[in-house]
């Protein structure tokens, strides 16, 4: 079954909030690990999407929202005419996975990226999210570099010589 994909509208806030809440719960079952408050994310990303500063799309099967993608196409560096795309978040509800819907949604994104003349696509996957890594690799993505992260609160004191 094919999916329908469209940009969010001003009437989609509740739908996006519910999907994003499910997405965060899957990624961070222990709520203390959340990188950002869900309401803060919704306010920032949703507002940017409504004014055309980024792409926040919903995926539907038979008028039921089954997922979303948040991505942005931007210059490779300030002043550059060369562009790349960054996929920030990508989510399909669990009952709709392994049905081809994620692949279809990814291909909608790829088509938009081609249309906007971007030269590459970047995305991040959590290291322990094997299914997501396998999914993106099946679409042709490969590991280009590692990104390390540390919370400032975890910095240990270093004795000066």
The structural domains of the chain, ordered by start, are: 4-154 (3.40.630.30)
Residues 5 and 58: beta-carbon distance below 8 Å = yes
- Confidence (pLDDT) at 35: 59
Would you say residue 25 has pLDDT above 90? no
Place of tokens 């709709």: 96
Distance of alpha carbon 31 from alpha carbon 90, whole angstroms: 19
- Confidence (pLDDT) at 58: 97
What's the farthest any 2 CA atoms get from each other in the chain?
Answer: 66
Residues 88 and 16: beta-carbon distance below 8 Å = no
What would the mean pLDDT of 17-32 be, rounded to a whole number? 81
Q: What is the pTM of this model?
A: 0.85
E-only strand ranges, the chain: 4-7, 55-61, 64-75, 83-92, 118-123
């Amino acid at each position: 079954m094919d999916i329908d994909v469209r940009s969010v509208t001003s009437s989609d806030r509740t739908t996006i909030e519910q999907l994003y809440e499910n997405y965060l719960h899957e990624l961070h079952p222990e709520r203390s690990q959340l990188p950002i408050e869900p309401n803060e994310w919704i306010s920032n990303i949703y507002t940017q999407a409504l004014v055309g500063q980024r792409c926040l799309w919903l995926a539907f099967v038979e008028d039921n929202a089954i997922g979303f993608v948040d991505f942005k196409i931007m210059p490779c560096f300030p002043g550059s005419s060369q562009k790349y795309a960054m996929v920030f978040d990508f989510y399909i509800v669990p009952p709709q996975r392994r049905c081809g819907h994620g692949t279809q949604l990814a291909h909608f994104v790829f088509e938009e990226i081609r249309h906007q003349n971007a030269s590459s696509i970047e995305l991040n996957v959590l290291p322990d999210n094997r299914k997501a890594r396998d999914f993106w690799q099946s679409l042709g993505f490969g590991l280009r570099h590692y990104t390390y992260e540390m919370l400032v609160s975890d910095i240990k004191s270093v004795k000066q010589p």
